[in-house]
Amino acid sequence: PQGFLFLCPETDLLLDDSTVLQHLDSVAYWSLDPAGIKRLSAEDATDLGFPAIELKLIAHGDFWDGSVYDGLREFHQAKGFNPDSQDVARHLGYPLYEV
């Protein structure tokens, strides 16, 4: 049968600036309905011969050598900030995160 693949807009994935993927089952789905109102279950879609939908999340991170962080701590301390606090982030107007 003719099927339709629906993908949600990227903006629907975002909860806030730091969190993604609120509802994995709504990210992509197959439907026989061109409006996508009636979704096919993954099992039904496979039984009808539609390819499985595979979601991947790839996270990349960068970091510096430890000496860079040591130097930043010394610099911030010399400027009067507590390097073990969020004082610098607050001073620069960055959002604060709980760890």
Same domain, 9 and 36: yes
Does 84 fall in a domain? yes
Does residue 39 sit in the same domain as residue 68? no
Domain interval for residue 67: 62-92
Q: Tell me, what's the pLDDT at 9?
A: 80
Mean pLDDT on 11-40: 77
The reply to whether 43 and 70 lie within a common domain is no
Nearest-angstrom CA–CA distance, 22 and 98: 20
What's the pTM? Answer: 0.52
For residue 56, being part of any structural domain is answered with no
Q: Is 65 helix (H, G, I), strand (E, B) or coil?
A: coil
- Domain count for the chain: 2
Res 20 pLDDT > 70: no
Task: Quickly state the pLDDT bin for 22 (edges 50, 70, 90).
Answer: low
**Residue 93 DSSP symbol:** T
Question: Residue 24 pLDDT more than 70?
Answer: no
Residue 45's CB is within 10 A of a number of other CB atoms, namely 20
Q: Domain for residue 42, yes or no?
A: yes
Query: What is the spatial distance between Cα 65 and Cα 41, in angstroms, rounded to a whole number?
Result: 48
Amino acid type, 54: E
Share of the chain above pLDDT 90, in %: 67
**What pLDDT score does 73 carry?**
96
Give percent of the chain above pLDDT 70: 85
In a domain? residue 52 = no
* pLDDT for residue 86: 93
